[in-house]
Amino acid sequence: MTAAPTACAHGPAPQLLLAPMEGLLDFVLRDVLTRVGGYDRCVSEFIRVTDQLLPARVFVRVIPELMNGSLTAAGVPVRGQLLGSDPACMADNAARLAELGSHGVDLNFGCPAKVVNRHGGGAFLLQDPEQLQRIVEAVRRAVPAATMVSAKMRLGYEHDRHAELCAQAIEAGGAGELVVHARTKAHGYRPPAYWERVADVRAAVRVPVVANGEVWSVDDARRCLRQSGAHALMLGRGAVVDPALAGKLRHALRWPAAANGSLGPIELQWSEMLEHLEWFWLRVRERIDPRAQAGRLKQWLNFLRRQSAQAEEAYQQLRCVTNPSGISQWLALHRTLPAKIVAHEWRGS
């Protein structure tokens, strides 16, 4: 079996990436989770590309970090992600994303959403390796040589028999890194994740391969690294449920600090979690439609309560609150941040 990479292992430096989650793990939660620490890089939620060159404001709306050098407030790079099926249009929008200063361009070949697949995007493209290669080639030609082009794929659409072919097509197109979500579109998000198939993909290509899917704990991470042979992990729902997960993994696996110097904590007390919830709420109030604000905080609490009794209590207290002022009042009763910090203007604004 392949040993889990450590700080002393040869080859690419081990990394922890923060995944996007449409409608949840967006720039607001990226800001908070990268403040907690432990991440080398983030990927944005996908920007849907259809038949036109999108204006700059569309990219900035999804990735406001572009106004801060493509860095979160904690100094963690953010790579913009594009989703689409037309090579020429994807190339034009990739060029614009690069011009705006994105920390690379990521291509989404993994989204399982029906509306996306119905229009030929996301995981649907895994049925056509040649088209995958055409898209990557077009994007690679359109952006500067120094701009990293990466991609995220699933193991397949209805089955995983062409996983290696798809990965090779992406590599042949010029991608320099590949994230593999270790399930097919048909699997959705149901466990398990098939980490051993990531190892098969890794053996079929020469570019670095990042494993993604079902990493909720240190034990999961160790098994994933051992079975996949990957040098890096991308965390999604596990990071939302446990904001200290990145720090736990870095300490347990003896990985070095992230690129911004952060190791991340190995645990968070509820008083510390309240600080992060308040930061989150400040960002929500600044950036999210008022009608959706209360729902966003309750959405995160709904994840947090899977492992925290205090989060469960908070969720039950706020479950029926729909007015943002009610959320603010609850947080004021539990406030931990000094007033001068609460008034701080986010650098990404």
Kindly state whether residues 245 and 285 are assigned to the same domain: no
Per-residue pLDDT averaged across 40-60, rounded?
A: 97
Residue finishing a domain among 192, 218, 253: 253
**266 vs 239: CA distance, rounded Å:** 13
233/276 same-domain check:
no
Taking 3-state DSSP, the helix, strand and coil percentages for the chain, each rounded to the nearest 5, stand at 45, 15, 40
Q: What is the pLDDT of residue 338?
A: 52
What residues are labeled active site? Answer: 111
Whether residues 157 and 73 fall in one domain: yes
For residues 243 and 338, state if they share a domain. Answer: no
| Domain-located, residue 2 | no
pLDDT for 301 beyond 50: yes
**Structure-block tokens of residue 128:** 């056509």
Over 50: is that where the pLDDT of 5 sits?
Answer: no
The answer to whether the CB of 181 falls within 8 A of the CB of 211 is no
Using CA atoms of 137, 124, 49, 26 in order, give the dihedral in degrees to the nearest 10.
Answer: -110
* Average pLDDT of the residues in 165-188: 97
Q: Are strands 209-212 and 105-109 parallel, antiparallel or unpaired?
A: unpaired
User: Are residues 236 and 158 both part of a single domain?
Assistant: yes
**212 shares a domain with 284:** no
Q: What is the CATH number of the domain that holds 153?
A: 3.20.20.70
Predicted pLDDT of residue 274 = 95
Residue 336, pLDDT score? 60
For the CA atoms of 33, 54, 123, 221, the dihedral, rounded to the nearest 10 degrees, stands at -20
End position of a domain, from candidates 202, 220, 253: 253
Of 19-33, 109-123, 303-317, the range with the lowest mean pLDDT is 109-123
248 shares a domain with 295: no
In the predicted structure, residue 62 carries a pLDDT above the cut 80: yes
Note the pLDDT of residue 139.
98
Q: How far apart, in whole angstroms, are the C-alpha atoms of residue 260 and residue 258?
A: 5
Residue 9 lies in a domain: no
- State yes or no: pLDDT of 345 exceeds 70: no
* Per-residue pLDDT at 341 exceeds 90: no
Residue 160 reports pLDDT greater than 90 = yes
Q: Which amino acid is at 31?
A: D
Claim to verify: residue 229 and residue 276 sit in the same structural domain? no
CB 254 within 8 A of CB 225: no
Whether 193 is covered by a domain: the verdict is yes
Sign of CA dihedral 97, 99, 102, 103: positive
What is the DSSP secondary structure assignment for residue 124, as one 8-state letter?
A: G
**Does 151 fall in a domain?**
yes
Give CA–CA dist 233/210, Å, rounded: 5
Asked whether 120 and 128 are in contact (CB, 8 A), the reply is no
- What total of structural domains would you count in the chain? 2
Give me the domain span that covers residue 157.
15-253
Evaluate whether residue 162 is within a structural domain: yes
| Other beta carbons within 10 Å of 256 | 14
Is residue 96 domain-shared with residue 151, that is, in the same domain? yes
Residue 338 located in a structural domain: yes
Q: Is residue 213 part of a domain?
A: yes
For residues 297-321, average pLDDT:
97
Measured between alpha carbons, how far is 335 from 128 in angstroms, rounded to an integer? Answer: 53
Mean of pLDDT values over 261-279: 95
pLDDT of residue 349: 34
One domain, residues 37 and 182: yes
* Claim to verify: residue 135 and residue 245 sit in the same structural domain: yes
337 pLDDT above the threshold of 70: no
Residue-averaged pLDDT of the chain: 92
The pLDDT value given to residue 116: 86
Do both 173 and 318 map to the same domain?
Answer: no
CATH number of the domain that residue 303 is part of = 1.20.225.30
Q: Which residue, among 169, 103, 173, 99, has the nearest Cα to 140 in the 3D structure? A: 173
Among the candidates 253, 278, 307, a domain finishes at 253
Q: What is the mean pLDDT of residues 149-163?
A: 97
In angstroms, the CA 138 to CA 234 distance is 26
pLDDT of residue 33: 98
